[in-house]
Structure formats: C-alpha cells, structure tokens
Amino acid sequence: MPSIAVNTKDVSQDTNNLGSPYDYINLMKPRVMSLVVFTAFVGYYNAVPVLDSSINPFLALIGIFAIALGAGASGVLNQWYDKDIDVLMDRTKNRPIPSGKIQPSEALSFGIITSILSIIILGLSINWLAASLLAFTIFFYAVVYTMWLKRHTVQNIVIGGAAGAFPPIIGHICATGSIGIEALILFLIIFLWTPPHFWALALINKSDYRVAKIPMLPIVYGDMTTRKNIFIYSLLLMPCVYLPWILNYSGNFYVIVVTLLNIEFIRRSISVLKENKDSEKGLFVYSIFYLSILFASICFDKLISNFMIG
C-alpha cells in the first residue's frame, strides 16, 4: 500500500492558508478598486466626444477590466508588504494575510502575476501609453508609497495620493491616446481631496497608527495641526473643482452640484477644526460621497451636453 509522507503540521498550515476566492477578492481591496474603476471611467467618458471614431465598446470594457485588475494587484502588493503592521492594527488585523487565510508568498505571487496581466491586457486591448501609466501607478503605489513613503514621512498620503489620482489620466489616454488638460484637472482634484480624506481617517484610527509606528500627521504633529491641515487642503480643493467649468469642459449642472458639495465640505472641515464630536468620522464618510457625486456630475453634465447637441 502506497504511503504518503506528509508532515501533519505543514499540511495543517497549507490547508488553512490556501484561501478561498472570497479571500482573494478581499485581498484586492474591492472598495478601492470600485473607486479607481469609476474615476478611470469618468476620465475616459469625459474624453470620448473629442474623438472622430470612438473605441470599440468591448475593447473599452476590457480596458476598464484591466485597470480594475491593476488597482487590485497594487492593493495585493500593498497588503503583502504591510503584513507586519496590519496585524497590529484593529482596522486591518482581519485582512486575509494577517488573519492567516492567505500565505504571504501566495499573495506576493498573486500580486505580481495580476500586475503583469493587467498591464499586458491594457496594452493589447487599448494602447501601450495607457499600459505604461498603469504600470507606473502600480509601481508608485506598491513601491514608492507602500515601501518608502508610508513608514518614513509625515507627507506619506500627500505624495502617495498621486497613485489614486492617476486612473482618470489612464482613462483619458484610453480614449484619446494622449494626456489632456481635462485629465490633469481630474488628477489635481483627487490629489487635493486625498489629504483631508486620509487625515480624517488618521484622526479616527490614531491609536492604531501609533501602535504600528506609522508617521501619520496626528501622531507626529498632534491633532490640532492635523485639523488645520485638513482645513487648508479643503480650502485648496474648493477652487480647483471649478476648473472644469472655468475651462468650459463642464456646464452649469456641474457647477451647481459642486457648489452645494463644497458648502457642505467646508462646513464639515470647520466642524473638524472646532473639534466637534464625531466630526472626523463625518468628514471621512462625506469625503467619499463628495468625490463620487463630483465625478458622477461630470459624467451627467457631459450626458446633458451630448443630448442637447443631439
């Protein structure tokens, strides 16, 4: 009778660490992926009418899929590298790697393979300029932000915010084959939106970041400096969101929506500055709503203008 020489302990670890498809989906940070896909789509859709002949819609769908895959891949690489600090923080300790559902080596190979696949798919289906920027975005998030900035500088999320701001430019390149000023404006909006969003989160999870020794602004310079910086970046963001309207890329519908959104954003930033109870949580949640509605209104405005033109 053939015998199978398997060490029980090793097998036990292996069986526990193969991970289910659900764990792999979680490893790709699906919520971040959805925001990346949405902003990339807006960058794409915003640029489409300037084309003489639009891209095949199926190829555009494949392109969006590739961007989603790339965003997921960078999330996987981020979680692989941060496994030592994720296990220390309440917010992240249940992620697939620190909870033992997926082995770090599995996550690393999964992250590398999906990164390469996403770049190849985007390059073959759309163009290689978009694929190059996707490759740079993955590198920027996984290496520049995760491995370098995050643990070494208080400006981590300010500079690292660029990684989250690239998708609309990728979307724009997918549609036009070049980088346009509309895409750079969308980049600027996300870039300036990121600090208030993440510093509000840092104020909420301050104790987590302290345990993990991550130099977030509230840990290094204290709460009040963070609150002031949130307010300053909110003030910087407010005029920038009018740029699409000033440069005639968006119409009156957009300007009405962003004015209303801005009023509430400033009100919540002032509330954070005044140290009102739960104001940080309120700003964090509202900032997600703010960006989603702002980008949706760009699309909707374009839809209205296309309809008017006929």
Partner 1 sequence: MKSNKNDEYIKAFYENRKSKNFAILGIIIFMVVLFFFITILRMDVTA
Pick between residue 10 and residue 278 the one whose CB is nearest to partner 1.
10
Residues 199-238 that bind partner 1 (CB under 8 A): none
Q: Does 260 bind partner 1 (CB under 8 A)?
A: no
Q: How many residues make contact with partner 1 (CB under 8 A)? A: 17
CA distance 119 to 132: 7
Question: CA 235 to CA 132: how far, in whole Å?
Answer: 33
- Measure the CA–CA gap between 156 and 147, rounded to whole angstroms: 11
* Residue 58 makes contact with partner 1 by CB under 8 A: yes
Q: Tell me how far apart the terminal alpha carbons of the chain are, to the nearest angstrom.
A: 78
Q: Is 184 in the site for partner 1 (CB under 8 A)?
A: no
User: Out of 15, 248, 307, 309, which residue is the one contacting partner 1 (CB under 8 A)?
Assistant: 15
Provide, rounded to whole angstroms, the least separation between the CB of residue 121 and partner 1. 7
2 touches partner 1 (CB under 8 A) = no
Check if the beta carbon of residue 231 is closer than 8 Å to that of residue 258: no
Half-sphere exposure of 206 (CA within 13 A, CB side): 14
- Span 16-45, contacts to partner 1 by CB under 8 A: 18, 21
By C-beta, is 175 or 230 nearer to partner 1? 175
- For partner 1, the closer of residues 58 and 307 by Cβ is 58
Nearer to partner 1, 57 or 310 (CB): 57
- Dist CA 134 CA 74 (whole Å): 10
Shortest Cβ 86–partner 1 spacing (Å): 24
Q: What residue ranges in the chain does DSSP mark as E strands?
A: none
CB 6 → partner 1: shortest distance, Å? 6
Left if phi > 0, otherwise alpha if psi is -120 to 50, otherwise beta: which for 60?
Answer: alpha
Q: What does the per-residue mask of binding to partner 1 show for 121-160, with x meaning CB under 8 A?
A: x--xx-----------------------------------
Q: Which of 6, 31, 52, 308 binds partner 1 (CB under 8 A)?
A: 6
CB of 103 to partner 1, least distance (A): 12
- For partner 1, the binding residue among 32, 62, 255, 304 (CB under 8 A) is 62
Residues that bind partner 1 (CB under 8 A): 4, 6, 8, 11-12, 14-15, 18, 21, 56, 58-59, 62, 117, 121, 124-125
